[in-house]
Structure 1
Amino acid sequence: MELLIFDLDGTLIDSVPDLTEAINKTFNELGIDNVTEDEVRNYLGNGARTLIERALKNKNDQNLLQEALKIFKNHYKNSVCVKTSLYPGVKETLEKLPNKKAIVTNKPYEFVGEILKTLGIDGHFEMCIGGESLPEKKPSPLPLLYVCEKMGFEPENSVMIGDSKNDIIAAKKAGIKSIAVNYGYNYGEDVKIFEPDIIIDEFTKLAEVV
């Protein structure tokens, strides 16, 4: 495959510790019970708004949701990459792969650049799309097709690498092959249920299959 499109959280990085801390700082301000890292792992995948909505345990209060989201983003931007880490073998494998690379994440774009730079992998990606960059986010195929078009690659010559059903479903809809890592978040579900083309259990194995 000529173009490799990567998810971020749960695929390249484990961001749960920093996200959990930002959520709990937010909830402390609002007088809401804290959440655990295990809970946050199951809440991730559909962007910041849905993350906070799930963490609020479906209180169904839109005013509270808006306030919590605003406070959360402020806390998170101030500690976006303190405890966040690369999964084993990510940096070394990215360096080995000669393919063109892009990131399509549902994480707000405003947080992506600092994370990539702090972890020393920003130079590997020619394009990054965040959850609020386009009118639709994964599992819509739009972000993947947009990247293919802008970078000059046909979908059939591209592959999506991610940890969740959002990545696999978006790839299928876009006519793009999918490689799933089984160590990520995916709401506690087994990625094989969604029938990716390939499943790997270590990021280093990506170099063997692309």
Structure 2
Amino acid sequence: MAFARLRGWGECPATRIYKKNRRIFPLRMGQGLEASFLGSSRLAQKMMKRPAGAGLCARHPRSEDTERRDALRYFEPVHFSRRLLMIHDLDLIVFDLDGTLVDSVPDLAAAANHALRRLGLPEHSAEEHKRMVGAGEKNFVQRFLGPDHQDLYHQALALYLEYYAQHLGDQTRLYPGVTETLTRLASVKKAVLSNKREDLAQEVVKVMGLAGFFQAVRGGNSYGVLKPGADGLRALIRELGSAPGRTFMVGDKPEDILAGRGAGAGTVALTCGYADLEALAAAKPDFLLDSFSQLTDLFGV
């Protein structure tokens, strides 16, 4: 059989995932190594369609379309025992903000469209804005202006920031289970690392009633580097007196996963945010979850 549930784990936090029928698949690597991947329900269904007996790196004649679809099934896994040890010794969880803790696209889109209207430019749909966010204010403004209007960047940035600062809590909402999950993770240090400007990130956390859960809320201007750069995460881990080997980075974008991997931390990707599954797969997260609430099963709380 190509995939099977892990058995005989003993008392480790991830046992609860098995007991709750959330499958963990061992993926055969070369030289007798085993690694595992916590699949979301959607990804698990895709993986179970894999031809019986096919090895992880097996190649079969297939069309280009099939090859592209198969990219969703194949992940280069890490040695899972190391990740289990990290869960046992967990000290710090660092969360992305937009698309991870909160759905902020309605307010981000409203601020962007306000700037576009004031400049006499066409507005974009919320879905279009959703694909543009996640790389800090500068990149977001450049993206919604488009290549033909970059000369209006400074005006657009000022208009966007002025509006967003006054309306950042109008339509932004917590994802389901966030408050309950953070409450159950009370024994673990928690922080936010966003590409959003620090003062704006802190205000969103405050308005959403989450400030009491976090030891630190940092933004894209806090350490002089944006994710996927890992230096900001490294600095935050040091600031909170932890270590990469005792830290997990949780986010919805490839940038979050790449920052976590670059810092030597464990990584959890959430499919309920703004990135598509294929992009998250390419970032090679240690774990892929469908909902924020599944973190309690993963971390055994």
Same fold (TM over 0.5): yes
Aligned to 2:253: 164
Q: Is 2:154 the partner of 1:93?
A: no
Which string of whole-angstrom CA distances, capped at 9 and with x for unpartnered residues, describes residues 77-118 of structure 1? 010111000000001100110210001000111212221122
What secondary structure, in the 3-state scheme, does the structure 1 residue paired with 2:167 have? Answer: coil
Q: Counterpart of 1:65 in structure 2: which amino acid?
A: Y
Partner of 2:153: 65
Secondary structure, counterpart of 1:78 in structure 2: helix
Alpha-carbon distance in structure 1 between the residues aligned to 2:128 and 2:278: 14
Question: 1-side partners of 2:249 and 2:149: how far apart?
Answer: 34
Within the candidate set 98, 104, 114, 1:15 is matched to 104
Counterpart position of 1:107: 196
Does the CA-based 8 Å contact 1:48-1:108 persist in structure 2? yes
Given that 2:93 and 2:249 are in contact with CA atoms closer than 8 Å, whether structure 1 keeps it comes out as yes
Corresponding residue of 2:127:
38
Q: Residue 185 of structure 1 aligns with which residue?
A: 274
- Post-superposition CA distance 1:115-166 (Å, at most 9, x none): 1122111100011110111221111101110011011111010000000010
- How far the C-alpha of 1:167 sits from its partner, in A, is 0.5
1:152 is aligned to 2:265 = no
SS in 1 for 2:134: coil
8 Å contact 1:140–1:170 — kept in the other structure?
A: yes
The one-letter code matched in structure 1 to 2:253 is S
> Aligned partners of 1:53, 1:196: CA distance in 2, in Å?
28
Q: Percent identity between the aligned chains?
A: 34
* Structure 1: 5+ residue stretches without partners: none
Q: Secondary structure at the match of 2:147?
A: coil
> C-alpha displacement at 1:60, in angstroms?
5.5
Q: Residue type of the partner of 1:81? A: G
Higher Cα Rg, which structure: 2
Do residues 199 (structure 1) and 278 (structure 2) align? no
Q: Distance in 2 between matches of 1:144 and 1:208?
A: 24
Q: Is 1:81 matched with 2:169?
A: yes
State the distance in 1 between where 2:226 and 2:141 align.
17
Query: Which piece of structure 1 moves more, 126-135 or 27-36?
Result: 126-135
Displacement of 1:37: 0.4
Instruction: Supply the distance in 1 between the matched residues of 2:216 and 2:152 (Cα, whole angstroms).
Output: 34
Is 1:54 the counterpart of 2:143? The answer is yes
Q: Distance in 2 between matches of 1:93 and 1:140?
A: 27
Matched, 1:29 2:118: yes
8 A Cα contact 1:43 1:187, kept in partner: no
Higher relative contact order (CA 8 A, sep 6+): 1
Q: Is the 8 A contact 2:268 2:286 kept in 1?
A: yes
Q: Bigger shift: 185-194 or 134-143?
A: 185-194
Contact 2:141 2:153 in 1 (8 A): yes
The 1:99/1:162 distance shift into structure 2, 3 A limit, reads same
- How far did residue 189 of structure 1 move? 4.6
Runs of 4+ in 1 over 3 A off after TM superposition: 187-190
Aligned residues: 209
Please list every run of 5 or more consecutive structure 2 residues that lacks an aligned counterpart in the other structure: 1-89
SS in 2 for 1:152: coil
SS in 2 for 1:91: helix
TM-score, scaled to structure 1? 0.96
Once residues 294 and 276 of structure 2 are traced to their aligned partners in structure 1, the CA distance between those partners, rounded to angstroms, is: 23
C-alpha contact 2:111 2:160 (8 A) present in aligned 1: yes
